[in-house]
Structure 1
Amino acid sequence: MSGREIAFAAFTDRGAALAERLCRELGGTLTRIGAGQGISLGNWTRDAFQTGCQALVFVGAVGIAVRAIAPCLQSKAVDPAVVAVDEAGRYAVPVVSGHLGGANDLTREIARICGAEAVITTATDLRHAFAVDEWARRQGCVVTEPGKIKEVSSRALRRESIRIFSRWPVSGTPPEGVLLTGEEGCHVRVDVGRGDGRALSLVPRVAVLGVGCRRGTSQESLEAAFSSLCRETGLWPEAVVLAATIDLKAAEPGLLTFCASRGWPLAAYSASQLMAVEGTFTASEFVRHVTGTDNVCERSAALAAGGAIWTGKHAGDGITMAVALRPVSLDWRWTNV
């Protein structure tokens, strides 16, 4: 859980003392809740969920945590890790998001710090079976269809083989029963692009979207162009982590709003920087005349990614887009125990 934002709630003096100790070890913020504190547990919990807090730790009864988070829960794909630990530090219990949110790992860390017993109840952990959602989180992949996790976990619990297709090599020794295979008949697909829809998709967040556009291009036009790109190529939108363009377009309001709405930083490069990028690109003399470089979308994507073009120039309505991929490093780490 290192580097994560953790919010601690305590209800008694004894609980607060334990929470302060955990804060010192793990980082985070502590809020006292209860009579005379002037803070509502419901409001505190809702604010933590809405502001994107990555983990909540209730130093108190499990029932308190359950009642507090119940109105806020959405799905395992987006809910933060939630852990309850009693004020005496005897038991630490992951409540939701054990694998994808990292609650199981956080529970083990809390148990290590205060000598508690980590009460882990997920079946794959108890039976030491491969947990595909835990592996996805450790590899930095987004699970785009979390409903399919159950199918893969059921295979693991039945000790049936799990066939994984990965666009990239995976270093190390696969867990027992896990096989790296081709796309045909795979149960798990690791790629930035969609397959046939049958396998569980794990999407590395390594794609860079290169963008060229006319002056005054609206956010709506860019959204439409991106949707078209994803539809035509099968790109998972969740794969994109960064947008890139030429410095001439770095202050375009529509482009800035488009990127901000999706949480992407925007990298901008000079024409000379773009022209220095090695590779084969779709050249345009008109673009060279206007901007000083023969291609904006492909060159900026490749430069920002430091990797190969995944899909080249897609053009329409005065907008060009391309996608390049950052280098990917995958391994078979999936558990701490």
Structure 2
Amino acid sequence: MICAYIAFTARGLALAQRLAAACPGSVARGGADGVPLADWTARQFAQSDALIFVGAAGIAVRAIAPHCRSKAADPAVVVLDEGGQFAIPLLSGHLGGANDLARWLAAVCGAVPVITTATDGRGVFAVDEWARHQNCAVAEPERIKKISGALLAGEPVRYAADWPIQGTPPAGVMPTDTADCADFALTLTPRGEALHVVPRIAALGIGCKRGTSAEKLEAVFAAFCAEHRLALQGIMQAASIDLKQDEPGLAAFCHAHGWPMDFYTADELRTAPGNFTASNFVQSVTGVDNVCERAAVLASGGELLLPKWAHDGVTFAVACAPFAPDWRWKNDEP
């Protein structure tokens, strides 16, 4: 977690430095003798996972107000008084981890964590916090309130999962074998009206003709995702053969999605375990019978999920890293 601290008094600065020693991050001084607060907040909203204000809550609220966008996008924001008596998560308590961060910082300085989210106050399962602890994204953040509201009202919620979940489900949470009946689902391929929790475990293997533009890759990728109902949030990296390292369209496509790109030689691709869709043409051009499937498997370290899919000179495949979810949904570390 990339943290950024700001304080406004000498006493507050000393506390910020103490906290940063335990939970590392940059430390700035605001106020008349320090950095402009508006500039600091704008910069850290874009760059950091968590903003920690040591000062009045009102200062923090006014500073972050112009930048708040959504549950899924906002960083964690925590405020502590300069005396270190209280630690209050202001924004992104579950998905961004502000609640856990507040608890952790409170433990460091002896403060009282002031957690105001209803599920925490009642000790009720929070699906968005569970998703974060399982390294998953929430595809439809607007549906979280339906799950939380039902549990807070004492009503059961049902889940479906494409992986076995270790441990005992929390109170009020029960499995269903019918995905259409699920209130939330753990899956890479969402469908229906459930809230979809998407594991960040997928690698996208890519093959393409030389000179393929980023625009074409994007259009074909959209069709690929639509046909397979693939959740974009689950893809964490992309991979291809080293012959594609100098392809500007491929580089731009991956950069636009924020995916790191791995490249493999033909010899390396041949070492990928599994059965793959062989192509004599691809073999003659690249020296290996399949690029996208093999690259995806090597990049993920796991198994093929979606085999080679070809359209208009572009091929995609998806493989998944090993994934062992459990019912852990909160702890005291950020």
Q: TM-score, normalised by structure 1?
A: 0.96
Tell me the residue number matched to 2:24: 27
Give the AA of the match of 2:132.
Answer: R
Secondary structure of the corresponding residue to residue 267 of structure 1: strand
Tell me the residue number matched to 1:54: 49
Secondary structure of the corresponding residue to residue 94 of structure 1: strand
**How many angstroms apart in 2 are the aligned matches of 1:91 and 1:165?**
39
C-alpha displacement of 1:236: 0.7
Is residue 12 of structure 1 aligned with residue 5 of structure 2? no
Please show how residues 79-118 of structure 1 align to structure 2 within 5 Å: 79-118=74-113
**How many angstroms apart in 2 are the aligned matches of 1:226 and 1:336?**
37
Superposed CA offset, 1:222-275 (max 9, x none): 111111100111001111111111111122111111111111111111212222
Superposed CA offset, 1:24-66 (max 9, x none): 11111111011122x2111111111122x10011101111110
C-alpha displacement of 1:174: 1.2
CA contact (8 A) 1:130 1:175 kept: yes
Tell me the residue number matched to 2:183: 187
1:273 to 242, 248, 268: 268
Runs of 4+ with deviation above 3 angstroms? none
**How many angstroms apart in 1 are the aligned matches of 2:331 and 2:311?**
48
Is residue 292 of structure 1 aligned with residue 287 of structure 2? yes
**How many angstroms apart in 2 are the aligned matches of 1:308 and 1:322?**
11
C-alpha displacement of 1:308: 2.1
**How many angstroms apart in 1 are the aligned matches of 2:324 and 2:174?**
18
**How many angstroms apart in 2 are the aligned matches of 1:60 and 1:29?**
16
The runs of 5 or more residues in structure 1 that have no matched partner are none
Question: Which has the higher mean CA deviation after the structures are superposed, 173-182 or 161-170?
Answer: 173-182
**How many angstroms apart in 2 are the aligned matches of 1:274 and 1:105?**
41
**How many angstroms apart in 1 are the aligned matches of 2:154 and 2:125?**
9
**How many angstroms apart in 2 are the aligned matches of 1:267 and 1:286?**
23
Tell me the residue number matched to 2:203: 208
Secondary structure of the corresponding residue to residue 100 of structure 1: coil
Is residue 232 of structure 1 aligned with residue 227 of structure 2? yes
1:133 to 121, 128, 137: 128
Tell me the residue number matched to 1:261: 256
Percent identity of equivalent pairs: 52
2:194 to 195, 199, 202: 199
**How many angstroms apart in 1 are the aligned matches of 2:294 and 2:303?**
10
Give the AA of the match of 2:245.
Answer: A
C-alpha displacement of 1:83: 0.7
Q: TM-score, normalised by structure 2?
A: 0.96
Is residue 45 of structure 1 aligned with residue 41 of structure 2? yes
Is residue 63 of structure 1 aligned with residue 63 of structure 2? no
**How many angstroms apart in 1 are the aligned matches of 2:224 and 2:134?**
26
**How many angstroms apart in 2 are the aligned matches of 1:254 and 1:43?**
34
Tell me the residue number matched to 1:324: 319
CA contact (8 A) 1:218 1:255 kept: yes
| Alpha-carbon RMSD | 1.2
How many residues were matched structurally?
A: 331
**Structure ranking higher on relative contact order (CA contacts 8 Å, 6+ apart):** 2
Superposed CA offset, 1:76-134 (max 9, x none): 11101101100111111111111111111111111111111111111100110001111
C-alpha displacement of 1:17: 1.0
The runs of 5 or more residues in structure 2 that have no matched partner are none
CA contact (8 A) 1:189 1:195 kept: no
Give the AA of the match of 2:115.
Answer: I
Give the AA of the match of 2:272.
Answer: V
Tell me the residue number matched to 2:149: 154
CA contact (8 A) 1:210 1:245 kept: yes
Is residue 176 of structure 1 aligned with residue 182 of structure 2? no
Secondary structure of the corresponding residue to residue 71 of structure 1: helix
Give the AA of the match of 1:252.
Answer: E
C-alpha displacement of 1:156: 1.1
